[in-house]
A = this chain, B = another copy of it.
Amino acid sequence: MAAAAAPPPPPTPAPEPALILSQNTPLGHPIFTRIRLATPSDVPHLHKLIHQMAVFERLTHLFSATESSLSATLFPSTTTAPQPFHSFTIFILEVSPTPFIDTPNNTFYNPTVKVVNLDLPVEDPERETFRVQNGSDVFVAGFVLFFPNYSTFLGKPGFYVEDLFVRECYRRKGFGKMLLSAVAKQAVKMGYGRVEWVVLDWNINAIKFYEEMGAKILQEWRICRLAGEALEAYGGAD
């Protein structure tokens, strides 16, 4: 079955399909979604997703990550590597036209599975590139990368969302909200005080969306960044 690529069903309903529909098959075009912790084997897909994000933001001149730099920094192999949620953490959004048959429990995060009913099937031009493994019917659709930050006034940590990305053909279906919500849920579960991220001031639609979900946009604060040669100079000076 390939709901994402199949044509819409014939418009004339027959008794049998109606009967089938009542047996747990949602109306429309169901797509099965799963949010899980990323593993080192996700790095090739992550690298491609981050590059797509750089293209989307017209910032490819700033893109210098490699699969190897991502592996070394996101999945360090040292014995003292922090646990998920206590350092850089990635949720992967997977989609499938068929129910997930194996969703193993994870010590740190039990994957969340949800069926979303779409009006139209999704045509994914990059199915093969983002197929999770040979022969599987599961595809990577997006990710969110976040890590703890800290509020001294609250005296407690929060989460900072560095990146939230959903591939083009899966946008405007609520998947971005699902990823952000998964981070918020985890923050609440851990007793954390805040979830924060940044938005471009001209991105009015995004700002409206964030305000509607209850986020405050801090208008007065500006980010300062020391990087490259200026960082080397400052960090090397006395």
**Which residue numbers of A lie inside 8 Å of B, CB to CB?**
50, 53-54, 59, 62-66, 69-70, 73-74, 80, 82-83, 86-88, 145, 147-158, 160, 162-163, 180-181, 184-189, 193-202, 207, 210, 213-227, 229-237
Partner of A162, one of B69, B152, B230: B152
Rounded to whole angstroms, the CA-CA distance of A186 and B236 in the bound complex is: 10
Q: Which residues of the other chain, B, contact A50 by a CB distance below 8 angstroms?
A: 152-153
B73 touches A150 (CB 8 A): yes
12 sample A-B contacts, Cβ–Cβ < 8 Å, listed by A number = A88-B148, A88-B150, A149-B162, A187-B231, A187-B235, A188-B232, A194-B227, A195-B231, A198-B222, A199-B222, A200-B222, A218-B224
Q: Which of A65, A149, A234 is packed against the most chain B CB atoms within 10 Å?
A: A234
Rounded to whole angstroms, the CA-CA distance of A199 and B218 in the bound complex is: 11
Rounded to whole angstroms, the CA-CA distance of A213 and B230 in the bound complex is: 7
A189 nearest CB neighbor, chain B only = B235
A213 nearest CB neighbor, chain B only = B234
A153 touches B63 (CB 8 A): yes
Closest Cβ of chain B: how far from A162's Cβ, in Å? 6
Rounded to whole angstroms, the CA-CA distance of A184 and B233 in the bound complex is: 9
B223 touches A221 (CB 8 A): yes
B224 touches A198 (CB 8 A): yes
Q: Which residues of the other chain, B, contact A200 by a CB distance below 8 angstroms?
A: 220-222
Known: A184-B234, A234-B184. A155 touches B64 (CB 8 A): yes
Q: Which residues of the other chain, B, contact A225 by a CB distance below 8 angstroms?
A: 194-196, 215-216, 218
B221 touches A155 (CB 8 A): no
Closest Cβ of chain B: how far from A61's Cβ, in Å? 10
B73 touches A231 (CB 8 A): no
Q: Which residues of the other chain, B, contact A222 by a CB distance below 8 angstroms?
A: 198-201, 207, 217-219, 221
Closest Cβ of chain B: how far from A76's Cβ, in Å? 9
Closest Cβ of chain B: how far from A108's Cβ, in Å? 11
Closest Cβ of chain B: how far from A4's Cβ, in Å? 23
